[in-house]
Structure 1
Amino acid sequence: MISHLLTPKTITQYDRNIVHLFSRFNIGPDSTQKLNEICEKDEININLLVDLINCYNDLSCLEKTKFEDYSIIDLIDYLERSHLYYLEKKIPEIEQSLLKLGLQESFSFNYIFIKFFEEYKKDIVSHFKTEDEVLFPFCKVLDRYIKFNSQEDLIYILENKETVYHLMNQHKKNNDDVDDLQKLLIKYSPKSNKLSYFEIFLNQMSLFQKDLKIHAEIEENVLMEKIYNNLKAFELKNV
């Protein structure tokens, strides 16, 4: 398990796949400053960050990590940072590997992979956009209203809560589609000794699937549960 007293450099030497998590919080992966010092300076919830590191390092930690102990604001901060990372870095990297795979090795299922990923990208970008523009702002306002009872926030909640209920009820895991693509890749992998880009692509998809599993756990089973509970309390209070 990762300690608060370790440095990012030590942690990433142990597991290079943690680099992407540090980048979301603008933490240099080669920093020799202790993690607790960095988090205190940058006002990052160190307990949440360490829990995330442990989950990314070992996915089995996800079942026993109590993300419900963290505030709505801290959870949304992580989810928003992750959306930005997916859209600006992770998805473009996967697309680039897919294009290089097509150039390196021509086989009939290249076109299927490309079309599948194009559709997947369109869906996930729309999914993130809805959350960033509707769900997360609503969550922040609801959290603020519970703390400060602002009349302006009350009006916003009353005007938007049905939309948010509908959004949460329709919510689905995007990592199911990633899993489908991974299975397709393995089943119809090119018969060639030149598998470098294929292996890179497959590895990227595997890491993305793990990332989205953690993301979905926090979003669906923790954040949304908090919002449902807070909305119930809000409705009882305003009957």
Structure 2
Amino acid sequence: MLIYHTSDWHLGRMLYGRSLLSDQEHFLYNVFLPAVEREHPAGVIIAGDIYDRQVAAIEAIRLFDGVLDRLVNLGCKVFAVSGNHDGAGRMAIMKSALRRSGVYIATTLEEAMEPVTLSEGGETVQLALLPYCDPAAVRDLLCDSDLRGETACMGALLDRIRPKLDPKLPRLLVAHCFAAGASLSDSESVFVGGSGQVSPEVFAGFDYVALGHLHGPQPAGENARYSGSPLKYSIGEA
């Protein structure tokens, strides 16, 4: 089964006062969607930061809407989580209706507790969709005020998710976080530099962890990987 892993589109991003929306549109319509049409993946993962701002520009929303429409028409399922740049509440609008078209957008921790299943050609996988969250939100969900630090909170959260997955099926986690040991690039250092890091060891038990948050494609531990952003968002990035 072929599944695309992508993240950090940052639709509507500005670079030194110049909008990158036309470049993003070119990538999506002239590179990404033709690849989907050519290779027919069963699903596309978008691991957060679809938009660059929590109140996204209307042009960015229109671009994402158009891409979703094409993906649905191509028969491709979409599995997306909200990132720290996304306005989770705004992304939640219409998500129940979108699920009926095969578009799964997770914006709350409660949704991470309800894995979704993807089947094609006799193969089936399960995906847990975990949006960006802070330790306070995890403590509230798990009713555990003693949890401290990103790793402890993520570990406790994943301990709650794992039993809900079928051990007989491949298990995928989609998450938006800063994995310890991963490398920052210039374009996200301002935003991520102060964020708490999560030990990749907490991802044990998943067959693949599709990460978003960092813009350089790279592994994170034994079973996790950042897809990286589709475009370079700083002058210094190679």
- Choose between structure 1 and 2: higher strand proportion: 2
**TM-score for both structures, normalised by structure 1:** 0.26
- Choose between structure 1 and 2: higher helix proportion: 1
Q: Which has the larger radius of gyration?
A: 1
**TM-score for both structures, normalised by structure 2:** 0.26
